[in-house]
Every structure is written in structure tokens, then in C-alpha cells.
């Protein structure tokens, strides 16, 4: 479909980023899959080309681009099914916390490295007994002189092994009422005593993405690492950034739909059964038509949200709708497309197998489908 939201400059950027991925990422995907982690040098190479957090102001190492450039990167990464190199988590989800809520000293210290690829970031929210319900977190940060002492455990943390700094959701006042008013975000640098990257987790999909468990044992960090002017702002800060986080996941699901559909259509044109290409069977054509129609409709909604988000419009409800609906539809589409591949679809040498594994997490991460529906329902007065 023709997408009018992108200018000629956007498309020039897309072409440059696509060529970069073909040269620097595609040749290494199998290697990263086998290792269960991407190499640090890809972050540095990406930063050197200005592709890490391009929206950052020039004073912090970015180029001051709009979010549509980030959307292009997300789409192109999904096009090649690269789920291990978690560029969007770093650039479009974690770094914005520092840029928005950090003071000038924090920004000057960390943002240039975030843009160059020298600093890889993560955000630690989930715990063994606290996922979607963030108010249930047990990690504490106790003030002790000029420092915070952090104790607790985090799990399912993307970029958990590679990160050079992690933004940790903690309770600075566990007795606060309501409880969310006692939550704060604190930045912890790799190498800080008591900050331990305990275990890289084995997952169904996104196998080259380093998802890990983190432990904080009497981890002492300077009080200057508190994100924001005062304690108790953590929950509000997280809520303010959820619109973009959910949009990132929705764009990923949307682009994955197109990539899988186009690959499946090509396969159905080349694969024969009973003496003719399987795309000549009515069931195959009708199913593909249904899925392409779904993708077209979803893309229209996605592009509308992109425009509104760039303008700064509050579309939290709509992005929650997109996150839930796109990920659920993408899951259905990938499942149906794998069926057309038959036994070959079950083989890891075919990209559809990897897509099937990877897409499953999208209905869970960033807030599950059920949580999205709760949020939408409340916003509609239900």
C-alpha cells in the first residue's frame, strides 16, 4: 500500500538503513542465534552510522530526527526477522526515560554513549512475582548517606547481559499509600558492586536476544542516579512512556505481518501440489486475501497513530488497542502462513519457523493482551 506519512527523506533513510542491515546484520543472524546473544560490535557499528536513537538532539549525539525515522528502523528490523539485536528497546523505550526525566548532568554523562553504541541500556521492571502489576514489586532502594542501597531480583530483562546501565524500578518507600507513590526509578551502571547478571534465560523465541535475571544485593549507587527531581515519581514516569512502548510493539507486529505474508505468497507461487502451484487452489488464495486485507486495515490504523504520536497527541487508549489487536492478528497470520509451508514450515531452516516462535511473545511483552483490554475498558468508562 502507498503510505503518505513518509517523505522522500524518510525513504532515503529507509534505503540506507536497509543496506546497513543487509551488510552488517543479515550475515550474522545464524551466528547470533547459535550463541544466544548478539555481539557488542554491532551496536558500535550502528551508532557510527547514526542509527541508534536518531531522535536524540544533536547535543547528545543524535540527529534530532522525528519518531518516523525510528518507526522505519523498527519496520526494517522486522522485515528481516531480527529479534535479537534489540535496538528499539534501547533507543525508543529506555533512552527516552533518561532524555525526558534526567537532569542535565545525567544526560551529559550517558546520552552521548547511548547514541554512539558504547552504552547499551535495559529497563528492569518485572520480578518473579510482579509482571503486569508493577505496584507489586518488592525491590527496595534504601537511602544511606549519599547513596541508595538496592536489594531485589528482576527477571525477563531484555539486554540483561549486554547492558552497561539499567533503569531499575524500586520501592524507595515500601509503606507508601497508595503504594505506587513509593516507587522510584534509579540508574545502575554495570560493574557496580552488588549488581549481578545472574542467568541468561532460554526462551521459545527471540533466541539471540539476551534476556536475563538480575540480582541486586546491597548494591550501592550514588543518590545522584535517581531519575527525576524527587523520589516517588517512578510509576508516573513509567506510565508516561507506555504510549511509545506499546506503539513500538505494535509497529513490530505490523511489519512482521507484511514480511511473513510476502514470503508466504512467494512460496505459494513456487510450491506445487497435484500438478499446479498451491496458490492456484481457491482456499490458499482466499486465505491470503483475508490476511492481506487484515494487514491493510491494521496498517491504516497504525499510520494514523504514528502521525498522532509524532504530533504529541495523547493516544494511549488507541495505542493499547493497536498493541493488543496487531499482536493477536499477527499471531494468527503467522500460524496460518506456516500451515501453507507444510512440513517445511516446521523446519528451522525456513524463516517462517523463526517467525512463528518470535511472534508469540508480542502478546505478552509490554503488557499482555488481557491487561491492554483492561486499560481500554477503563478508558471507555467500563
Residue 299: CB atoms within 10 Å: 17
The whole-angstrom separation of Cα 339 and Cα 342 is 5
Helices (H) and strands (E) in the chain, counts: 13, 9
Phi, psi of 176, rounded to the nearest 5 degrees: -60, 145
> Is residue 245 among the annotated active site residues?
yes
Q: What distances in angstroms separate CA 31 from CA 18, 136, 209, one per listed residue?
A: 20, 38, 12
* Residue with cell string 505490523: 254
Tell me the sheet residues that pair with 212.
157, 200
Contacts 24+ apart (CB under 8 A), 187-191: 187/98, 187/106, 187/110, 187/221, 187/225, 187/227, 188/150, 188/216, 188/219, 188/221, 188/225, 189/164, 189/165, 189/221, 189/225, 190/163, 190/164, 190/165, 190/166
Number of CB atoms found within 10 A of residue 136's CB: 11
Secondary structure class of 276 (helix, strand, coil): strand
Whole-angstrom Cα distance, residue 334 to residue 338?
6
Q: How far apart are CA 247 and CA 320, in angstroms?
A: 8
Q: Name, in order, each residue with C-beta under 8 angstroms of 205's C-beta and a sequence gap of 6 or more.
A: 83, 354, 357, 358, 359, 360, 361
Q: List the catalytic residue out of 73, 92, 245, 329.
A: 245
Q: Residue 196: enclosing H or E segment and its boundaries?
A: strand 195-200
> CA 165 to CA 185: how far, in whole Å?
13
Place of cell 542535565: 104
Which residues are catalytically annotated? 245
Amino acid at each position: 500500500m502507498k503510505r503518505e506519512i513518509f517523505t522522500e527523506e524518510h525513504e532515503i533513510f529507509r534505503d540506507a538503513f536497509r543496506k546497513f542491515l543487509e551488510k552488517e546484520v543479515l550475515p550474522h543472524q545464524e551466528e547470533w542465534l547459535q550463541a544466544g546473544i548478539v555481539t557488542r560490535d554491532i551496536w558500535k557499528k550502528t551508532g557510527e552510522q547514526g542509527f541508534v536513537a536518531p531522535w536524540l538532539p544533536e547535543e547528545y549525539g543524535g540527529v534530532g530526527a522525528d519518531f518516523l525515522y525510528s518507526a522505519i528502523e523498527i519496520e526494517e528490523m522486522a522485515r528481516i526477522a531480527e529479534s535479537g539485536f534489540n535496538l528499539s528497546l534501547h533507543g525508543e523505550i529506555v533512552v527516552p526515560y533518561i532524555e525526558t526525566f534526567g537532569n542535565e548532568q545525567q544526560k551529559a554523562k550517558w546520552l552521548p554513549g547511548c547514541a554512539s553504541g558504547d552504552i547499551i541500556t535495559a529497563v528492569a521492571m518485572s520480578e518473579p512475582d510482579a509482571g503486569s502489576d508493577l505496584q507489586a514489586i518488592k525491590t527496595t532502594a534504601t537511602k544511606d548517606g549519599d547513596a541508595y542501597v538496592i536489594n531485589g531480583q528482576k527477571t525477563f530483562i531484555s539486554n540483561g547481559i549486554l547492558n552497561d546501565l539499567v533503569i531499575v524500578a524500586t520501592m524507595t518507600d515500601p509503606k507508601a499509600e497508595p503504594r505506587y507513590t513509593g516507587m522510584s526509578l534509579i540508574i545502575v551502571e554495570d560493574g557496580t558492586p552488588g549488581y549481578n547478571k545472574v542467568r541468561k534465560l532460554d526462551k521459545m523465541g527471540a533466541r539471540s536476544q539476551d534476556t536475563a535475571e538480575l540480582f541486586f544485593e546491597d548494591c550501592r549507587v550514588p543518590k545522584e542516579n535517581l531519575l527525576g527531581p524527587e523520589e516517588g515519581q517512578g510509576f508516573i514516569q513509567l506510565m508516561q512512556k507506555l504510549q511509545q512502548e506499546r506503539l513500538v510493539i505494535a509497529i513490530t507486529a505490523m511489519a512482521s505481518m507484511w514480511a511473513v505474508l510476502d514470503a508466504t505468497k512467494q512460496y505459494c507461487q513456487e510450491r506445487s501440489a497435484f500438478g499446479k502451484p498451491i496458490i492456484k487452489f481457491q482456499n490458499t488464495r482466499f486465505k491470503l486475501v483475508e490476511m492481506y486485507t487484515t494487514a491493510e486495515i491494521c496498517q491504516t490504523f497504525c499510520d494514523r497513530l504514528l502521525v498522532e504520536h509524532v504530533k504529541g497527541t495523547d493516544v494511549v487508549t488507541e495505542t493499547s488497542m493497536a498493541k493488543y489487536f496487531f499482536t493477536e492478528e499477527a499471531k494468527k497470520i503467522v500460524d496460518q502462513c506456516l500451515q501453507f509451508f507444510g512440513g517445511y514450515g516446521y523446519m528451522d531452516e525456513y524463516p517462517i519457523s523463526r517467525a512463528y516462535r518470535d511472534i508469540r511473545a508480542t502478546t505478552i511483552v509490554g503488557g499482555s493482551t488481557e491487561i491492554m483490554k483492561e486499560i481500554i475498558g477503563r478508558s471507555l468508562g467500563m
